[in-house]
Amino acid sequence: MKSMGMIAGFIIMVFSFFGAGFAYSGDAGETASQVVARVGDREITRLELGMVKGSLWSTPRGKGMGTSQALDLIVEKVLFAKEARALGLDKDPAIQLQIRNARESILARAYVRSFMAGPSKISQDDIVNYYNSHSTRFSQPEMVRARHILFRAHPTATSQEIATIEARALSVKKEIIQGADFALMVKKYSEDPGTAKKGGDLGFFARNGKIKALSDAAFAMDPGEVRGPIRTSVGYHLLMVEEKKTTRIKPVEKVQEEIVATLTREKNMNHAAALKKGLEKKFKVEIGPVSSMKK
């Protein structure tokens, strides 16, 4: 399981790296080999610029970065690298180890990328079979949409203050039952700034989506029904249920992309695991304290 987890992480990293870094195709009329800058004898091509720009665009800080900014970053990197070589830093064993690891990571990504299956390799039968055998994964819980009016009550409120708040809530409830528009009463009386401007709309929520007292009441009510005042830790609420949705399974059309992504990832992980076993036989692998090949 640990090995498969590591393979899964590598597969995800490969998708991310190649999906971003190689997305750039250049402007019309440009060629990949076109030299866009030169630092000493080091040429920077249109292809390199595009790769760096694509990688930067995949990060929050680099999103939308312009071509000139990306080119400036490459020039800066090359300048620093040249000076590092001039100072002999590339001869440092620790630096050499980092360079070797970076080179091997790039080659490993390229190799894994060469055999990874794309979405087109997943058949409709595969999708349907996965959907049928994982139906609970695609279930939508029972949901309710409600509005509320909040009358705040401080935790240290006296019994007289509580009685006043309850009486106020009951008075408003009476107006609503007699025909007053709930949303208008929210704007007039609610002390919940987060929902007052939305007519008290709490949106759709599951049984565990709100304070227990509100959820219990909402799921026991019928659409159009008004209840309250209901006591919670913040005060008293008048609650009106607008709509209810029963538990249901999302149609396969709605989750097809998610299934394709999952199956593609699983296929790639299994393929990578099989390739790893084959390569372990091809190249001798020794784990633990081993004697160095260097003399």
Q: CA 36, CA 46: separation in Å to the nearest integer?
A: 6
pLDDT for residue 7 is more than 80: no
* Residue type, position 268, single letter: N
Judge whether 152 and 234 are in contact, CB under 8 Å: yes
pLDDT digits (tens, 9 = 90+) for 103-146: 999 999 888 888 776 666 788 999 999 999 998 888 888 999 99
Distance, CA of 191 to CA of 166 (rounded, Å): 14
Same domain, 179 and 216: yes
| pLDDT tens track for 134-181 | 988 888 889 999 999 999 999 899 999 999 999 999 999 999 999 999
22 & 79 share domain: yes
- Counting other chains too, the contacts that 189-194 makes at CB distance below 8 Å and 24 or more residues apart are 189/149, 189/151, 190/148, 190/149, 190/150, 191/150, 191/151, 191/152, 191/235, 192/148, 192/149, 192/150
95 and 128 in a single domain? The answer is no
Please give the pLDDT value at position 121: 77
Q: Number of folded domains in the chain?
A: 3
Same domain, 91 and 20: yes
Task: Give the domain CATH number at 208.
Answer: 3.10.50.40
Q: How far apart are the first and last CA of the chain?
A: 37
Same structural domain for residues 124 and 164? no
The pTM (predicted TM-score) of the whole model is 0.49
Distance between CA atoms of 117 and 271, rounded to whole angstroms? 9
pLDDT of residue 15: 45
Element (H, E) at 19: helix 2-21
Domain boundary among 225, 246, 267: 246
189 contacts 172 by C-beta, under 8 angstroms: yes
Domain encompassing residue 39: 2-116
Q: What is the pLDDT of residue 2?
A: 53
Write down the pLDDT at residue 14: 46
pLDDT of residue 21 exceeding 60, the answer is no
Q: Do 241 and 230 reside in the same domain of the chain?
A: yes
- Give the whole-angstrom CA distance, residue 273 versus residue 266: 11
Region 219-245 average pLDDT: 94
Residues 110 and 125 in one domain: no
Place of tokens 């704007």: 187
The reply to whether 151 and 290 lie within a common domain is: no
